[in-house]
Amino acid sequence: MTKILNKTTIDEMKARVCEANLSLEQSKLVVLTWGNVSEIDREAGIIVIKPSGVPYETMRAEQMVVTDLDGNVLEENSLRPSSDLPTHIYLYRHFPEINAIVHTHSKNAVIWAQSGRNIPPYGTTHADTFYGEIPCTRQLTKEEVDTAYEENTGKVIVERFEKENLDPLAVPGILTIGHGPFTWGTSVKKAVENSIVLDEVAHMALFTEVISEKKTELPKYMLDKHYFRKHGANAYYGQN
């Protein structure tokens, strides 16, 4: 049974989600209405997500949509939630470590998604956030698209992680083939940061391939060094 949050907590979630959505435009990761951010309160079983098709220039915190984990809207006179809500729900159900999700059509990441390629770990900028290549999903079948497109988008993401035994916190994002990136994190701030990093890394990798005849991925000892100096029990980057 869903526990309804008190109004103060809902308002705080809406403010965070709205601010995160607006930051996507400020970071030039979205144009028009192409993107969405959500946050989950797992104890209450509630998600707050961007409304569908609302322009960023008119977006307000009170417009954010509150749903349960079945996608039911919980407030009267609410706008419709993002059409990508079923993808978010599926990821929240299968990645219990995450508390926020970002989806964009950011240009550099989409270039790789449209090519159907994983992004190799060519440099330390990549390794600081992503422990290994950034994967790309398989193509959905016609049946998967026709029956439950958005939910099945979540399924092919989870399928890729389960198939390769990937840790969603160590690889906090993926490309959906022909579509675009999804990233996530333990907070909305972290999920947005991971989306920014993913697009920057995609840009760097693209030009690495353009100008380099011999493309060399980072050796594992360098990948380990840069990832684990920022993550895990022995991390030493930044302040306590």
Q: What is the pLDDT of residues 128-187, one digit of tens each?
A: 999 999 999 999 999 999 999 999 999 999 999 999 999 999 999 999 999 999 999 999
CA–CA gap between residue 36 and residue 56 (Å, rounded): 10
Give the fold, CATH level 3, of 7-228: L-fuculose-1-phosphate Aldolase (3.40.225)
Which member of 84, 128, 221, 224 is catalytic? 128
φ and ψ at 183, to 5 degrees? -130, 170
Q: pTM of this prediction?
A: 0.94
Residue type, 206: L
Every domain of the chain and the residues it spans: 7-228
Give dist(CA 213, CA 50) in Å, integer: 43
Asked about 167 being catalytic, the answer comes back as no
Give the pLDDT score at 14. 97
Tokens representing 16 are: 């965070």
Per-residue pLDDT tens digits for 34-92 = 999 999 999 988 999 999 999 999 999 999 999 999 999 999 899 999 999 999 999 99
The answer to whether residue 84 is catalytic is: no
Q: Which helix (H) or strand (E) holds 197?
A: helix 188-211
Long-range contacts of 70-75 (CB under 8 A, 24+ apart): 74/2, 74/4, 74/46
**Token digits of residue 226:** 């840069």
Q: What is the pLDDT of residues 197-216, one digit of tens each?
A: 999 999 999 999 999 887 78
Instruction: Check: CB of residue 182 under 8 Å from CB of residue 112.
Output: no
Name which of 95, 115, 97, 235 is nearest 179 in CA terms.
115
Which band of pLDDT confidence, cut at 50, 70 and 90, is reported for residue 5?
low
Q: d(Cα 144, Cα 160) in Å, to the nearest integer?
A: 16
Catalytic residue among 146, 167, 224, 237: 237
| Strand ordering across the sheet containing 35-41 | 65-68, 46-49, 35-41, 100-104, 180-185, 173-176
The type of residue at 10 is I
